Amino acid sequence: MEAKDTTHFGYKEVPTAEKAKHVAEVFHSVAGKYDLMNDLMSLGIHRFWKHFTIMNSGVRRGATVLDIAGGTGDLTRQFSKLVGDTGKVVLADINASMLNVGRDRLTDDGIVGNIEYVQANAEALPFPDNSFNCITIAFGLRNVTDKDKALASMFRVLKPGGQLMVLEFSKPAEWMAPIYDAYSFKILPQLGKIFTGDEDSYRYLAESIRMHPDQETLKQMMTDVGFERCEYHNMTAGIVSLHRGYKF
């Protein structure tokens, strides 16, 4: 299958080769206020979504974990405690600004010793086959240009018996959709404008969520690259879903 010349960046069509650059510009712009905006946008509920992901990871002492699009390190922080000094967590992000914020934040809090930081593209992960017991990507897959290629890359570096967890915005329940749309397109960009001076990046966020595959489509995409026992759990009326799949 030939690669498409263009792809979506929110509701816009851009050259496929340029999408990563456009996404990078968004996250360079918001990196410093990323955690604040997460709290404002979700009324703090993003912490529950991430806690639920950690609790369902099955990660134990001595495990190796890859946190893709790990950003400011919310998941890495918790995984570091779970794996202990005999385990390892790799915080990977394609965006240098986000990676630096995460590294500085965790280091300032004294969370060091079992964490590595790697700037990496999810479509071509720079790790050997069968490297990790658990892989997570939280609110990052929708920004990836070629999601199938990224999922295949994650499958390759996951150990047999390991689990992939994709935490991502998804398609809300029908009754929630009009409320969510009004919030996303009217309130969210204004929050971005007020607190970060960047309205456009948060308009892109709302658009990118709408362009992301729905629950069943993403589940099938995971199955197609080799993951087994794929399932998802909706949270907050389907605004967010946690997809899980295993490599056997």
Does residue 111 belong to any structural domain of this protein? yes
Neighbouring residues of 221: CB distance < 8 A, sequence distance ≥ 6: 147, 148, 151, 213
Question: Residue 6: which pLDDT band, with cuts at 50, 70 and 90?
Answer: confident
Query: Per-residue pLDDT for 214 more than 50?
Result: yes
- Comparing 35-44, 96-105, 162-171, 200-209, the range with the smallest average pLDDT is 35-44
Q: Token match 């799949």: residue?
A: 245
Binding site, annotated residues = 72, 93, 121-122
Average pLDDT over residues 86-90: 98
Does residue 48 belong to any structural domain of this protein? yes
Compute the distance between CA of residue 228 and CA of residue 244 in angstroms, rounded to an integer.
9
Query: Per-residue pLDDT for 47 more than 60?
Result: yes
Compute the distance between CA of residue 164 and CA of residue 247 in angstroms, rounded to an integer.
8
CATH number at residue 32: 3.40.50.150
Q: What ranges make up the beta strands (E) of 10-49?
A: 12-15
Compute the distance between CA of residue 164 and CA of residue 244 in angstroms, rounded to an integer.
6
> CA of 2: how far to CAs of 6, 14, 81, in Å?
12, 17, 44
Q: Residue 119's Cα: distance from chain center in Å?
A: 14
Binding site, annotated residues for S-adenosyl-L-methionine = 72, 93, 121-122
Does residue 71 belong to any structural domain of this protein? yes
Does residue 39 belong to any structural domain of this protein? yes
The pLDDT, as a whole number, for residue 162 is 98
Are 42 and 209 within 8 A, CB to CB? no
Residue 111 DSSP code: -
Does residue 200 belong to any structural domain of this protein? yes
Q: What ranges make up the beta strands (E) of 11-143?
A: 12-15, 64-68, 88-93, 115-119, 132-138
pTM of the shown model: 0.89
Residue 32 φ/ψ, nearest 5 degrees: -65, -25
Does residue 1 belong to any structural domain of this protein? no
Domain count, the chain: 1
Neighbours of 79 (CB within 10 A): 28
- Domain span at residue 191 reads 6-246
The pLDDT, as a whole number, for residue 2 is 47
Numbers of helices and strands, H then E, in the chain: 10, 9
